[in-house]
Structure 1
Amino acid sequence: MCNDIILKVSNLIAFILLTAVKGFTTFNNKVANNDFLLETYNSTTTFTNVYLLPKQYTFGIWGLIYILLAGFVLYQQWTEKANNVTIHGVSYHFCIAATLNIIWLILIWFIQENEKLFIIIDTLVITTLFVFLYFIYDNLEEHYPPETLTDRIFVHAPFKIYFAWTFITLIINFWIAIPTLNTIIISSITLVYLGFMGLYYVDYRKKADLFITATIAWALVGIAIKHYEILPILAASSFSIGMILGGVLRYNYDIYIIYNEKGF
């Protein structure tokens, strides 16, 4: 019982610290005037020419992620099921992920002072963050599937969207850390891959995952809008968005057929 309380308090403290650091780096003038993650990297550099960098407003999804994480922190106290998922499904992985996220945000702050060094460190940190979020995602998917709507909203939704958006951010970091990746050809191929990935999660998995698919689609929309003047990027983004939309429509049609056959 004592260990359970310590974990829940740790989750609360980790969330408060993460929100505080995110708020500082988002609304502080030094960061707010930049061009990556609202937009974090200095707009006078070539970072703004990263072909996989979405439009600035797409990073507003962080607000949704933090709201859902706040719901998780509160929900962990509600029921025995929530308690079990928190202790065994999420465990201390969220605390570790939040700590890594804080480090990542702080590194973004210092990138302006020593770009090359901090970009490399920043990429390593975001990669580790992605791994820990994958641990949470995989454990929840395999062992703690949602049984109620509240499970889906307050446990699965925050970590799925967090995981998917961190994956998008990870790709952007690699494109910045390794400039040779930042070509129209490689970026276009990657955009098509993201489209197939989004389609897979909604249409080909045994358990469709609309949260991850929607997050990928959101990033693709932002990329298409930001780089609409670059025809291959626009075409690849639009193709991928179309694939995902088709998968979502087919998924909903299949649900309609199932319910119709059951007489609902």
Structure 2
Amino acid sequence: MYHKHPYRWWNAAAFAAVITINILSNALPLGGRNTGDISDQFYIYITPAGYAFSIWSLIYVLLAGFVIYQLRRDTSSRDSVRATGIWFILSCIFNMAWLFLWHYLYIEWSVFAMLLLLASIFVLYRKTRGISSPSPGERWLVKLPFSIYLGWVSAAFLVNVGIVIYKNGWSPLGLSELGWSIALLCIGVILAVAISYPPRDGILPLVFVWAYIAIAVEHRDEGTIMLTAFVLGALVFLYALWLMIFKRRQHSYRY
């Protein structure tokens, strides 16, 4: 007998809450300021161009696909769905917590909330990456959503850390703002490789490419940051292509 995912309806409710809070955060807006206003208030060298945040629309569409997939009678009992356990609900809670903390300018606490969000998505990513011989539904509605979600939140977390450094006037390791901004970009590349290499995931690094190109576009008048972001983005892009080719060859050898 196959058991359906015990949290499937809670997942749907939690996701609906996330969408509602996201809408209200800019419609009200929460704290009297929208997300863009806060980003402008704490503008740093690794703030990406505004268009980059449109990726949230793709992320939420894919997560909606996951929620619908795990609700269906014929797929809610799949091991790939059941493996997500309570982690999707936790990710939704941390997502909403971040929004409240960010909008009410508890910036330092918002980094902690985003770290918890990052950790919960990472668990979901690892569990869904363990799917062997995924069906088309599992590939597009279980694996893909968490690849893109984790990639973007990882990049956003580094920006959030940068904002805390800037807000408090810190100089980690004696570095200037330009210096620690470049250091964070380099850490992002290491993070992208460290997460994506074990499962040979070529999609997640492309999210970093999206972020880095947006940073280069936004700071095109600041030559050092523009060049650094563009070069690192290009290197990560080549790495992502290599992963895709490597995985395709590995798959073909099995047959």
Q: Tell me which residue corresponds to 1:209.
A: 201
Cα distance change, pair 11–186 in 1 and its aligned pair in 2 (3 A): same
Paired with 2:253 and 2:80, the residues of 1 have a C-alpha distance of: 37
Query: For residues 211-250 of structure 1, what are the alpha-carbon distances to aligned partners after superposition, in whole Å with 9 as ceiling and x for unaligned?
Result: 2111111100111111111111111111112212323444
Q: Is 1:157 aligned to residue 144 of structure 2?
A: yes
Paired with 2:38 and 2:203, the residues of 1 have a C-alpha distance of: 28
Q: Is the 8 A contact 1:196 1:243 kept in 2?
A: no
Tell me which of 62, 73, 79 is aligned to 1:68: 62
Q: Tell me which residue corresponds to 1:126.
A: 114
Query: For residues 78-116 of structure 1, what are the alpha-carbon distances to aligned partners after superposition, in whole Å with 9 as ceiling and x for unaligned?
Result: 4655533465321111101101111111222212xxxxx
Tell me which of 218, 223, 227 is aligned to 1:226: 218
Aligned 1:1-264 pairs, distance under 5 A? 4=4, 6-28=6-28, 34=34, 37=35, 39-41=36-38, 43=40, 45=41, 47-48=42-43, 50-78=44-72, 82-85=76-79, 88-111=82-105, 118-142=106-130, 144-145=131-132, 147-179=134-166, 180=170, 183-195=177-189, 197-198=191-192, 205=197, 207-251=199-243
User: Which stretch of structure 1 is more off in the superposition, 60-69 or 100-109?
Assistant: 100-109
Paired with 1:41 and 1:19, the residues of 2 have a C-alpha distance of: 20
Paired with 1:105 and 1:91, the residues of 2 have a C-alpha distance of: 24
Which blocks of at least 5 consecutive residues in structure 2 are unaligned?
A: none
1:169 Cα deviation from its structure 2 partner:
1.5
User: Which stretch of structure 1 is more off in the superposition, 62-71 or 243-252?
Assistant: 243-252
Paired residue secondary structure (2:71): coil
Among all aligned residue pairs of Structure 1 and Structure 2, give the percentage whose two residues are the same amino acid.
21
Letter in 1 for 2:177: T
Paired with 2:248 and 2:114, the residues of 1 have a C-alpha distance of: 40
Paired with 2:70 and 2:13, the residues of 1 have a C-alpha distance of: 14
Paired with 1:80 and 1:220, the residues of 2 have a C-alpha distance of: 40
Q: Is the 8 A contact 1:40 1:108 kept in 2?
A: no
Q: How many residue pairs align between the two structures?
A: 247
Paired with 1:257 and 1:153, the residues of 2 have a C-alpha distance of: 21
Paired with 1:134 and 1:227, the residues of 2 have a C-alpha distance of: 30
Paired with 1:139 and 1:258, the residues of 2 have a C-alpha distance of: 21
Cα distance change, pair 77–65 in 1 and its aligned pair in 2 (3 A): same
Paired with 2:213 and 2:99, the residues of 1 have a C-alpha distance of: 24
Paired residue secondary structure (2:45): coil
Q: Is the 8 A contact 2:14 2:93 kept in 1?
A: yes
Paired with 1:259 and 1:85, the residues of 2 have a C-alpha distance of: 22
Cα distance change, pair 32–59 in 1 and its aligned pair in 2 (3 A): farther
Q: Is the 8 A contact 1:196 1:240 kept in 2?
A: no
Cα distance change, pair 239–200 in 1 and its aligned pair in 2 (3 A): farther
Q: Is the 8 A contact 1:164 1:215 kept in 2?
A: yes
Paired residue secondary structure (1:83): coil
Give the TM-score normalised by the residue count of structure 2: 0.83
